[in-house]
Amino acid sequence: MLSKLISILLFVIIICFLIAWHELGHLLAAKKCNVYCYEYSIGMGPLIYQHQGINKKTGKKRETKISIRALPVGGYVSMAGDEDAEGDLTNDEIDAVPKERTLG
């Protein structure tokens, strides 16, 4: 019984690592193309943890929030110009992004 539980836990950890790696590819490609990214999230559903670092040179918050969510069934990178991603944002957050930094 314990070995099955360990196997399931190990499977979930490996899946989370693969999802994180996959979504990191999306994030790095967006950053390389100068697209503004609101959030890099591992998992779906309710928020468990979120962090938005501070740039040590400027003292301002970094643009991308890093999130961990309750259900380890996927992940996403929320980018400016993506209508699905902008559904949860305020108009001020959307308007603060320069047009040249959006997907469109």
Q: What angle do CA 9, 47, 38 make, to 5 degrees?
A: 115
pTM for the full model?
Answer: 0.81
- pLDDT greater than 90 at residue 81: no
Residue (of 4, 7, 13) closest to 72 by Cα position: 13
Our answer to whether residue 93 is catalytic in this structure is no
Contact in structure between 40 and 67 (CB atoms under 8 Å): yes
Spatial distance between the Cα atoms of 18 and 20, rounded to a whole number of angstroms: 5
The residue from 23, 39, 86, 93 that is catalytic is 23
84/62: higher pLDDT = 62
Q: What is the pLDDT of residues 25-71, one digit of tens each?
A: 999 999 999 999 999 999 899 999 999 988 888 888 888 999 999 98
